[in-house]
Amino acid sequence: EVQLVQSGAEVKKPGESLRISCKVSGYRFSRYWIGWVRQMPGKGLEWMGIIFPGDSDTRYGPSFEGHVSMSVDKSSDTTFLQWNNLKESDTAIYYCARHEEFEGVMAFDYWGQGTLVTVSS
């Protein structure tokens, strides 16, 4: 069974650093892109970026490039999303999701449960 299990909720102050995780199981980690999606309070879904665990190739959305970084640890089948300088506007739920290819069309087919990040002074 494919599962993506994310780390727990976090409360941080502006300017602090944070790394959240997404551990996968039930499939070959290195073969599928993993994406991150942001959902700010009461808002819609935003595509942040994707990473390919096989070689750590990464694509960031323009709104997120330079503010977050994605990485993987192949030894633990885990993907990370990291901030070095949190802002209050980073308060959101963050989802990881597996990026599957269906006859050439990519889609997020399995999702983590979400990690709530609250940034407040």
Partner 1 sequence: DILLTQSPSSLSASVGDGVTISCRPSQNISIYFNWYQQKVMKAPKLLIHGAVNLQSGVPSRFSGSGTGTDFTLTITNLQPEDFATYYCQQTYSTPGTFGQGTKVEVK
Residue ranges that bind partner 1, judged by CB under 8 A = 35, 37, 44-47, 49-50, 59, 61-63, 95, 97, 102-109, 111-114
Type of residue at 47: W
Of 26, 25, 23, 33, residue with least CA distance to 115: 23
Identify which of residues 16 and 109 has a Cβ nearer to partner 1 in the complex.
109
CA 16 to chain centre: 18
Please state the closest distance from residue 26 (CB atom) to partner 1, in A: 15
Residue partners of 110: CB distance under 8 A and separation at least 6: 2, 3, 4, 97, 98, 100
Identify which of residues 80 and 111 has a Cβ nearer to partner 1 in the complex.
111
Please state the closest distance from residue 17 (CB atom) to partner 1, in A: 24
Identify which of residues 13 and 118 has a Cβ nearer to partner 1 in the complex.
118
